Amino acid sequence: MSKPIPVGISARHVHVTREHLDILFGKGYQLTVKKDLSQPGQFASEEQVDLVTEKGAFKKVRILGPERKQTQVEIALTDALKLGIKPPVRDSGDVKGSPGLTIVGPKGEIKLAEGVIAACRHIHMTPADAAEYGVKDKDIVKARCDGERGLIFDNVLIRVSDKFKLECHLDTDEGNAAKIGTGGTIELIK
Please name the fold of domain 121-189: Barwin-like endoglucanases (2.40.40)
Percent of the chain with pLDDT over 70: 99
Tell me how far apart the alpha carbons of residues 9 and 189 are, in angstroms, rounded to a whole number.
20
Q: Span 60-88, mean pLDDT?
A: 98
Q: Span 177-184, mean pLDDT?
A: 96
Q: What mean pLDDT is reported for the chain? A: 97
The strand ranges marked E within 37-114 are 43-52, 57-65, 72-74, 89-90, 102-104, 109-111
Q: Are strands 122-125 and 151-160 parallel, antiparallel or unpaired?
A: parallel
Domain edges within the chain? 11-118, 121-189
What integer pLDDT is reported at residue 2 of this predicted model?
A: 79
What integer pLDDT is reported at residue 1 of this predicted model?
A: 61
pLDDT band at residue 50 under the 50/70/90 scheme: very high
Phi-psi region of 41 (alpha: psi -120 to 50; beta: other; left: phi over 0): left
Residue 101: strand, helix, or coil: coil
Render pLDDT for 146-172 as a digit per residue (tens, 0 to 9): 989 999 999 999 999 999 999 999 999
Q: Span 122-130, mean pLDDT?
A: 98
What integer pLDDT is reported at residue 22 of this predicted model?
A: 98
What integer pLDDT is reported at residue 190 of this predicted model?
A: 80
Render pLDDT for 93-122 as a digit per residue (tens, 0 to 9): 999 999 999 999 999 999 999 999 999 999
Side chain identity, residue 140 = I
